[in-house]
Amino acid sequence: MDTVTVSNSNRLEYLNDPSPQTLGRSPLEWLERLNGPTVVRVAGRDRSRTRAMATLNHGNEPSGFFALHRWLLEQRTPEVNMLFLLGGVYPAKIPPVLTQRQLPGGRDLNRCFKEPFEGDEGAIAHALLEELRDANPECLLDVHNTSGTGPAFAVTITNDAAHQALTSLFTDRLIMTDLRLGALMEYSEQEVPTVTIECGGAQDDHAHELAYEGLVRYTSRADVLSLEKADWDVAVLRNPIRVELAPEATIEYRLEPTGLADLTLPPDIEHRNFGVVSPDEPLGWVGKKGLSILNAISHNRTENVTQVLRVKDGQVYPAQAIKAFMITTNPAIAKSDCLFYAVKATGDPLFES
Ligand SMILES: [Zn+2]
């Protein structure tokens, strides 16, 4: 069975059990053939159950898409029915392909999975949620890449055995957040265990490989929701704070400060990802403005940054042992998003709400 149908009512395209001919030889060939947000359904051995996986919600995060193409080409029969959701086909197709997170002037699709579903991205998010409701999956993954390099991790709004078991198909780190942004992972609130998987960097072959291996585990096991069958012990990091750079501040990545930037970080600071940094280990240097150029944000509230970081002789140290992650060495992301996330070395929040 190999059918393509377009539904005008909800602007999604459907591929049922796509053949190698439909898929093309490479993921790029397949992407060329996709016209818009696409739903792929593959019949499983047990047709009474369904598992769902979304990917390409961000058009520049291809690991899940590459993994799906490879897995579909192998024409495997999954243990249960599979529902795959490819939401960000439009931004992914803009040349050079797989470089745009969202359409120019468009909204971030992964902020649109909530009322009022405004605009084109809201309509796509709404249509994808309808698919999920119809399919009633036993669980849902949303597969992404991080902007820098670095190890894989999972993100969830719920931390229980099922969410840890799903995480363990891909990684041993789970970040639990109480923030609600309209991300697809908030589908967890519908009593469907849902985990976002961040596979590592978008350009990283390890990330693509991990996405594929995780997908094989996800589709081939009779049970993916029991912790006793987990691949790894999962470390849970709760409610990280974001450390942000003030809008007017300047940053440089250098081995030594030039004295010109408000903040200087070493170029290899990404190696600190998920490691414990003790209070006597320097993270970088600040200029004359000291720590006033940094903000610590938890739950959309500004916290006292001096409880996270301290300065001695122009060098920045953790105020207490911390675990930092999603550390960026991209100045544009450092300016527009955040420098890094942090929790206590134990994985507990730095600030209790
Ligand atoms: Zn993403």
Cβ pair 37, 154 in contact under 8 A: no
Q: Which residues contact 168 (CB under 8 A, 6 or more apart)?
A: 227, 230, 231, 232, 233, 234
Please tell me the distance between residue 143's alpha carbon and the centre of ligand 1 in angstroms.
8
Helix (H) or strand (E) holding 237: strand 235-238
- Rounded to the nearest angstrom, the distance between the alpha carbon of 286 and the centre of ligand 1 is 30
- Check whether residue 108 and residue 183 sit in a common domain: yes
344 CA to centre of ligand 1 in angstroms: 25
- Is the sign of the CA dihedral 279, 284, 287, 291 positive or negative? negative
For each of the chain's 353 residues, which pLDDT tens digit applies?
455 554 445 589 999 999 999 999 999 999 999 999 999 999 999 999 999 999 999 999 999 999 999 999 999 999 999 999 999 999 999 999 999 999 999 999 999 999 999 999 999 999 999 999 999 999 999 999 987 778 899 999 999 999 999 999 999 999 999 888 899 999 999 999 999 999 999 999 999 999 999 999 999 999 999 988 788 889 999 999 999 999 999 999 999 999 999 999 999 999 999 999 999 999 999 999 999 999 999 876 899 999 999 999 999 999 999 999 989 888 888 888 889 999 999 999 999 86
- Give residue 289 CA to ligand 1 midpoint distance, Å: 33
Q: What pLDDT does residue 299 have?
A: 74
Ligand 1 centroid to Cα of residue 40, in Å, is: 20
Q: Are 200 and 210 in contact (CB under 8 A)?
A: yes
CATH number, domain containing residue 201 = 3.40.630.10
108 Cα to the center of ligand 1, angstroms: 9
**Chain centre to alpha carbon of residue 191:** 20
Q: Which residues pair with 51 in a beta bridge?
A: 82
Both 170 and 310 in one domain: the answer is no
CB-based contact 164:48 (threshold 8 Å) = no
* Cα-to-centroid distance, 282 and ligand 1 (Å): 30
In this structure, the answer to whether residues 81 and 212 fall within a common structural domain is: yes
**Ligand 1 mean position, distance from CA 312 (Å):** 36
Half-sphere exposure of 292 (CA within 13 A, CB side): 5
Domain that holds residue 110: 3-237
Residue 337 lies in a domain: yes
- On the question of a cis peptide bond just before residue 96, with omega within 30 degrees of 0, the verdict is yes
For residues 132 and 40, membership in a common domain is answered with yes
Answer with the one of 192, 208, 237 that is the final residue of a domain.
237
Q: Are residues 248 and 332 in the same domain?
A: yes
38 and 156 housed in the same domain: yes
Looking at 214, 237, 260, which one is the last position of a domain? 237
| Of 327, 323, 249, 322, nearest in space to 291 by CA | 249
State the pLDDT at residue 10: 57
The CA 121 to ligand 1 mean position distance, Å, reads 15
Tell me whether residue 349 is in a domain: no
Question: Same domain for 198 and 274?
Answer: no
- Domain total of the chain: 2
pLDDT at 150: 80
Ligand 1 centroid – CA 14 distance (Å) = 23
Q: Are residues 164 and 117 in the same domain?
A: yes
Whether 278 and 204 map to the same domain: the answer is: no
Question: Are residues 89 and 66 part of one domain?
Answer: yes
Residues 190, 85, single domain; the answer is: yes
The answer on 219 and 288 residing in a single domain is no
Going from the Cα of 99 to the center of ligand 1, the distance in angstroms, rounded, reads: 12
Whether omega for the bond prior to residue 37 falls within 30 degrees of 0, making it cis, is no
**Spacing, Cα 61 to ligand 1 middle (Å):** 6
